[in-house]
Amino acid sequence: MGLGLALALCLAGCARNGADRGFVLTSFGAVDPADLAVAESDLRATFQRPVRRLAAQTPPPEAWLTERAQWDAERLLAALDALPLRPGEKAVALVDADGARTDLTFVFGLAVPQGRCAVVFLPRLRDGDAAAVHRRLRTELRHEVGHLYGLPHCDDPRCVMAYSTTVGEVDAKGEDFCARCLKRLAVLRRPRG
């Protein structure tokens, strides 16, 4: 069985039991419509879930780190968490500006592990042609959504869940979950009760 089919079957069981209702896709500020289209298509295809689009959100002013000229990723997650989500929905926002955490100089993205919100920051992924940029976007989107489903970082450097601190590392890892992460995902998404 292919990894994509295994992921779809794993997530299908979760959806039947009401634990996974799909995604809300938005942005903080203006984002290229082509990037939003790539993200929407990838969420639908990879995770076999519906995607509901929301208009661009205004980032909260307190999330701007003036001295660093970056957005505070954790504060953007808090703002995203305040959106009116339906039960079982997960929110993903794209940001066409640099992001950071207080303990890191930058992040490609951030998610609340086993939570409902993730952000992906685009500027550091924009090195090369559109195909390379969109591949990186899909990779980082899948990585952050993997965290939403409870996956930790993976020590397989080709797995989408591998930790990356450079664009070269993003390019070196694949767009797919390794077999071990797929198995973990199946366990994490198994209905409880």
The residues carrying an active-site annotation are 144
CB of 12 closer than 8 Å to CB of 189:
no
Exposure string over 158-168, b if 16+ CB within 10 A, otherwise e: ebbbbebeebe
Which DSSP symbol is given to 30?
-
Which DSSP symbol is given to 56?
P
Map tokens 């397989």 to a residue.
Answer: 156
Give Cβ neighbours of residue 112 (< 8 Å, ≥ 6 apart).
Answer: 77, 81, 118, 147, 148
The three-state secondary structure class of 63 is helix
Question: DSSP assignment of 81-142, as one string?
Answer: HTS-PPTTEEEEEEESS-EEETTEEEESEEE-TTSSEEEEE-GGG-SS-HHHHHHHHHHHHH
